[in-house]
């Protein structure tokens, strides 16, 4: 029986002070020795004909989740008592579903990138039996390579119908974002407000570069679409109120209050009362706080829910979430967490990244964001391409990982997780280039795309 998620009573009291809004971030501050990394990896399940895995059915994700709960020690979770199974929990990790049944492992907070890779391999191994029996291949790509919008059914999570109806009024690619995109993200801790703002600023400035490095979605409905990241192109036209580069955080003296002020003015999706959704699209959280909605006043649970419906390229919650990358194949699955661990969790590396980007302006970085979906590392920036900047950023991250000196069982530092990316960047390439190489000469492109994007079975 699935258990409904319940909120702490403290979070259910109406918000009365501005300090309560800030408390979400202040309470997340922790000492360096408690810093961890949490990786989130989304993937598409496809059948041999390229059709997408659905929620329902004997071979759907619901059946897979029930099997994992019955055989692998995962605990089933629903939004409310008696509701549909939507998540699994085990040992600090979770498995959740995006709107189009993209299957996401949200990893436990771990100390090293080696542990992240081991966790991911273990996850894929757990999926192997069900996948083999049902002819499912798991693809690490940023955009579904074959399916049309019409081939998807929506996962029955309460906020997804609200998003389905509201977001298309804000951007023409919103449904594609919900149904056909997948990403790899990583979450990081912060030592202080100053540390959080420094990390946010550096990551936001480098966000288009992150997208270029990890561009890995060159296919749309079975064919190359002409660019390198369809996922990144989609995000340019979803909802600019809640996405993008949060320009208010680019100033040197920015603080938590600046993120709160931005978040307060973003329109809401919904909130819940007694486990049931109350649709509330269009009203800003600031208005909800000051004026209420249909007799309801906001509480901290509503505020935390709202923060989770903001989609900037780097998101501030009780962690800092780097969000700008396409989902990756097996060889690069752990590279994004490694890259940003090397930058964020080494003082020298973070200072070097800050110095590298110190005079970059929001407008010029935002302009590059509009191009990276197409040209990836060949995007022009300040009279050159992004390739030499990528090489420098990888060098900075590698130095940070070397100094951390966490060794794998074979004696390698975490820098080993950057090796494949370093090879690509040295040639001016991104993962999409490797996917496209020689594809025009392949007799069965669909089978080849599946083979090249296969995440494997964890072995």
Q: Which residues contact 294 (CB under 8 A, 6 or more apart)?
A: 278
> What kind and span of H or E run contains 19?
helix 18-26
pLDDT digit string (tens) for 28-62?
A: 999 999 999 999 999 999 999 999 999 999 999 99
Tokens of 390: 């990528």
Distance of CA 159 to the CA centre of its chain: 18
The percentage of residues in the chain with a pLDDT greater than 70, rounded to a whole number, is 97
Report the C-alpha gap between 164 and 23 in whole angstroms: 31
When pLDDT is cut at 50, 70 and 90, the band that residue 8 belongs to is low
Where do the structural domains in the chain lie, given as residue ranges? 3-453
pLDDT digit string (tens) for 100-112?
A: 999 999 999 999 9
Instruction: Answer yes or no: is pLDDT of 7 > 60.
Output: no
Which CATH fold topology does 3-453 show? Creatine Kinase; Chain A, domain 2 (3.30.590)
The per-residue pLDDT for 290 is: 97
Report the C-alpha gap between 255 and 197 in whole angstroms: 6
When pLDDT is cut at 50, 70 and 90, the band that residue 9 belongs to is low
Report the C-alpha gap between 46 and 35 in whole angstroms: 36
Instruction: Answer yes or no: is pLDDT of 289 > 70.
Output: yes
Start-to-end C-alpha separation, the chain? 32
Report the C-alpha gap between 32 and 258 in whole angstroms: 24
Q: How many CB atoms lie within 10 A of CB 36?
A: 19
For residues 48 and 148, the answer to whether their CB atoms sit within 8 Å is no
Report the C-alpha gap between 227 and 232 in whole angstroms: 10
The torsion defined by the Cα of 357, 360, 362 and 364, in degrees rounded to 10, comes to -120
pLDDT digit string (tens) for 249-276?
A: 999 899 999 999 999 999 999 999 998 9
Distances (CA, A) of 447 to 220, 318, 441, 454: 15, 42, 13, 10
pLDDT digit string (tens) for 408-444?
A: 999 999 999 999 999 999 999 999 999 999 999 999 9
Tokens of 406: 């966490």
Instruction: Answer yes or no: is pLDDT of 4 > 70.
Output: no
pLDDT digit string (tens) for 174-198?
A: 999 999 999 999 999 999 999 999 9
- pTM for the full model? 0.96
Report the C-alpha gap between 444 and 429 in whole angstroms: 24
- Tell me which residue of 181, 196, 435, 226 sits closest to 324, measured CA to CA: 181
């Amino acid at each position: 029986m699935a258990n409904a998620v319940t909120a702490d009573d403290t979070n259910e009291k109406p918000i009365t002070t501005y300090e309560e809004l800030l408390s979400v971030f202040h309470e997340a501050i922790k000492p360096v020795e408690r810093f961890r990394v949490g990786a989130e990896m989304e993937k598409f399940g496809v059948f041999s004909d390229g059709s997408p895995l659905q929620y329902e059915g004997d071979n759907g994700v619901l059946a897979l989740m029930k099997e994992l709960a019955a055989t692998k020690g995962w605990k089933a979770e629903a939004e409310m008592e008696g509701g549909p199974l939507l998540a699994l929990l085990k040992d600090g990790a979770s498995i959740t579903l995006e709107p189009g049944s993209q299957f996401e492992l949200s990893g436990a907070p771990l100390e090293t990138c080696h542990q992240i890779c081991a966790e991911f391999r273990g996850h894929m191994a757990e999926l192997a039996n069900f996948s083999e029996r049902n002819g499912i291949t798991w693809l690490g790509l940023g955009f579904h390579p074959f399916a049309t919008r019409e081939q998807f059914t929506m996962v029955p999570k309460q906020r997804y119908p609200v998003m389905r109806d509201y977001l298309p009024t804000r951007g023409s690619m919103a449904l594609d974002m919900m149904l056909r995109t997948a990403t790899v993200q990583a979450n990081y801790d912060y030592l202080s407000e100053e540390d959080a703002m420094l990390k946010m600023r550096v990551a936001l400035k480098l966000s288009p570069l992150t997208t270029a490095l990890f561009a890995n979605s060159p296919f749309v409905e079975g064919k190359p679409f002409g660019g390198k990241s369809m996922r990144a192109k989609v995000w340019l036209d979803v909802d600019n109120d809640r996405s993008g580069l949060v320009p208010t955080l680019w100033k040197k003296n920015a603080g938590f209050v600046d993120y709160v002020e931005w978040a307060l003015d973003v329109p809401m999706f919904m909130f819940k009362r007694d486990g049931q959704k109350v649709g509330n699209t269009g009203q800003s959280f600031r208005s909800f706080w000051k004026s209420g909605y249909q007799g309801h006043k906001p509480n901290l649970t509503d505020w935390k829910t709202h923060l989770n419906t903001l989609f900037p390229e780097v998101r501030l919650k009780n962690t800092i979430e780097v969000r700008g990358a396409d989902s990756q194949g097996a060889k690069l699955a752990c590279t994004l967490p490694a890259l940003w661990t090397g930058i964020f969790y080494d003082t020298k590396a973070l200072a070097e990244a800050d110095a590298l980007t110190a005079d970059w302006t929001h407008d010029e970085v935002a302009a590059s964001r509009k191009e990276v979906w197409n040209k990836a590392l060949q995007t022009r920036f300040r009279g050159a391409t992004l390739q030499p900047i990528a090489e420098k950023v990888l060098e900075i991250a590698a130095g940070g990982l070397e100094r951390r000196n966490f060794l794998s069982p074979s004696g390698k530092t975490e820098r080993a997780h950057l090796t494949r990316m370093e090879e690509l960047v040295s040639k001016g390439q991104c993962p999409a280039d490797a996917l496209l190489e020689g594809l025009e000469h392949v007799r069965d492109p669909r089978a080849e795309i599946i083979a090249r994007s296969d995440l494997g079975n964890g072995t």
